[in-house]
Chain A
Amino acid sequence: MDLLLDAVVTGVLLGCFYAAVSLGLSVAFGLLDVPHVAHPAFLVLASYAVFFLNERYGVDPLLAGLLITPLFFLFGLAAYRLYYETFERRGSDAGVRGIAFFFGIAFIIEVLIILQFGVDQRSVTATYVGKAWRIADTRIPFRLLVAFAVAAALTILLTLYLSRTFMGRAIRAVAQDQEALRLMGVNPIRIKQWAFGIATAVLGIAGALLIIVAPVEPTLDRTYIGRTFCVVVMAGLGSMTGTLVAAIILGVAETIVLTLFGASWAPAISFAMLLGVLAVRPQGLFGRRS
């Protein structure tokens, strides 16, 4: 019983972290319908950038994450522009070739990381990595707490941004009806490009969390394809609070299976849940489409 309670607590913390790494995809895939399978590869790339800053200049991982955020924003703008020019503007078959395109990008990033940093696992050093906080018998690692706090803040900020600011509302409007926006004299492509930039910028911080929570390796993105898409699809495309709830469900499910059946079953959890959601309730728990 104690073990189970332990698993639930860790699961909730882990879930918040999953929410943080999925938020960008929730915008890119959920709101903009871009089949962004390279999202986890971008995430791992961000982790390696944080690793580089941390190892070379001793920058705190979270600060490093903040530092690379503007770069990732620009990177996102460029990536969407390329995607738009080659696929969305030509129209037909964008889904099929789009997903192939992003898989190609993901592979390129993977190999570039391997060529630069090698295949070994990498981790960062900071005062809060490696320590733990004890409440009675439960041991909560600091790194999970940090990830939890930052992830929660990130989710709240992004939710507020999408619901309160002009640009955020415009992004949600473009997701609902692109043509209507065009008739109002707004250029929907520029809004979508901006949104994709935001989605990629969030990965700067998320990448820092990724390498704080556990060591990273170049092919880690393959596991996270399952986790991020599971969270986003389960949340219902484009819902930020839904993303948080779905991520917590995934986190708890993963830690419970981990405690009961062992680590070798863990990679399948997110993918199995994803399959289940797709088969039973494709619109997700908080779906915007019925």
Chain B
Amino acid sequence: MKRNGIFFWIGATLFLAAALLMTQVIGNQYPFFACYVILQFIVLAVAWSILGGYAGYVNFGTSAFFGMGVYTAVFLLKAFDAPLAAQIAAAAAVGALMGFALGLLTLRMQGIFFSIATIAATIVIETSITNWRYVGGSAGIQLQRPMVTEPFNNYVQMLFFIQALLVVLAVAISRYIQNSWIGRGLQAIKDDELAAECTGVPTLRLKLLACVISGALMCAAGAPAAMYLQYADPSSAFNLNYSVSVLAMSLIGGTAHWAGPVVGAILLGATQQLLTVTISSEVNVLVLGVMLVLFVVAAPEGIIGLIRRVLRNRSEGKE
């Protein structure tokens, strides 16, 4: 475990260094535009898995958290001209609060009822934002990017690097949870909540913790999107596609290990970027649907599950 930890942090540092180097070397803007979206989906998928993967509570409200992140940033920018760091921090706080509320919901609802409730909450929040004139209402709002700070020479490059930082943060948290007693407790909840409660696992506290962390990360990932697009409107910020994409990425990657959502997000995110550029965004959604159905039917454990099975077979073959 210790050596794994060292490797992980070396890998994370290398990743950040590479991201920073990219912003200094590559002049073309497009790679940053595309990679930003993929990084954003990695954060969302990893955050989703903390609740959905480890604890087994399927949250369809990813778009609610993402959208609230966007609109927290929009509000702060419009009202106080707040800097980006403050926007992200505030979004994380809002997300944590929403996560807490979500955690209380789990008290009364399990399984599909929980999932339906999260969809319902998303639409209610979206409608409230739509009716809030100050942040633009249903027509949306245009935003002006402030001046970029050194060492970046372009705003999108800076956003790209910030999202990369969030990726490392999210993955580190998810990895820590998986390897600690929190992860084992959540696993127990997933297997049998009643049995877990009976054997002394503090189920409510663990669920609340998972919801708060997951929510804070999702909202934080949404906050820079306002500046990225320079525009925000409720129907795209709260689009159900975010929820389903993130769910698909986590399931395709596999939810048993922290690396699953990362693999899924990179794979599906890159495919979607390619398809959006080369064909159309409709086909993009079609591929999302088909891949979701295919993996759920044919490989329920995801890519991580497939890899594990191959490894196990090989080691059995050796013996």
Contacts and interface: CB of A to CB of B under 8 A. Distances in A.
Interface in A194-233: 222, 225-226, 229-230, 233
A93 B108 contact: no
Contact of B112 (A86, A99, A271): A99
A35 B112 contact: yes
A267 B127 contact: yes
Contact of A275 (B111, B121, B293, B296): B121
B198 interface: no
B108 A282 contact: yes
Contacts of A95: 58, 111-112
B279 to A, nearest CB: 11
B293 A104 contact: yes
Contacts of B119: 225-226, 271
Place the interface of chain A in its size category.
Answer: 35 or more
Given A35-B112, A107-B285, A110-B285, A93 B300 contact: yes
Contacts, number: 119
A104 B113 CA distance: 18
Given A107-B288, A268-B128, A100 B296 contact: yes
Given A108-B286, A233-B116, A282-B108, A101 B121 contact: no
Given A108-B293, A282-B109, A103 B244 contact: yes
B41 to A, nearest CB: 16
B277 interface: no
B204 interface: no
B240 interface: yes
A279 interface: yes
B289 A275 contact: no
B211 interface: no
B289 A264 contact: no
A260 interface: no
B115 A108 contact: no
B123 A103 contact: no
Contacts of A93: 56, 300
B300 to A, nearest CB: 6
Interface string A48-82: 00000000000000000000000000000000001
A278 B113 contact: yes
Interface in B264-319: 282-283, 285-286, 288-293, 296-297, 300
A108 B108 contact: no
- Interface residues of chain B: helix, strand, loop or mixed (majority): helix
B188 interface: no
A112 interface: yes
A278 B116 contact: yes
A111 B297 CA distance: 20
Contacts of B290: 104, 108
A35 B296 CA distance: 14
Contact of A115 (B112, B247, B248, B282): B282
B285 A111 contact: yes
Place the interface of chain B in its size category.
Answer: 35 or more
B142 interface: no
Given A264-B138, A268-B123, A100 B247 contact: yes
Contacts of A108: 286, 289-290, 293
Contacts of B300: 90, 93, 97
A289 to B, nearest CB: 12
Nearest to A112: B286
A96 interface: yes
A209 to B, nearest CB: 23
A175 to B, nearest CB: 16
A274 interface: yes
A93 B112 CA distance: 11
B120 interface: yes
Given A264-B138, A272-B124, A278-B117, A104 B109 contact: no
30 contacts: A97-B251, A98-B112, A99-B58, A100-B58, A100-B248, A100-B292, A101-B293, A101-B297, A103-B292, A104-B248, A104-B288, A104-B290, A104-B293, A107-B286, A108-B289, A108-B290, A111-B283, A114-B282, A115-B282, A229-B116, A229-B120, A233-B116, A267-B126, A267-B127, A268-B128, A271-B123, A272-B120, A274-B116, A275-B117, A278-B117
Interface of B: 56, 58, 105, 108-109, 111-113, 115-117, 119-121, 123-124, 126-128, 130-131, 138, 240, 244, 247-248, 251, 282-283, 285-286, 288-293, 296-297, 300
Question: What 3 pairs between A and B have smallest CB-CB spacing?
Answer: A107-B289, A268-B127, A104-B292
Given A101-B292, A105-B289, A108-B293, 16 more contacts: A35-B112, A86-B297, A95-B112, A96-B111, A97-B296, A100-B251, A103-B247, A107-B285, A108-B286, A110-B285, A229-B116, A267-B126, A268-B128, A271-B123, A282-B108, A282-B109
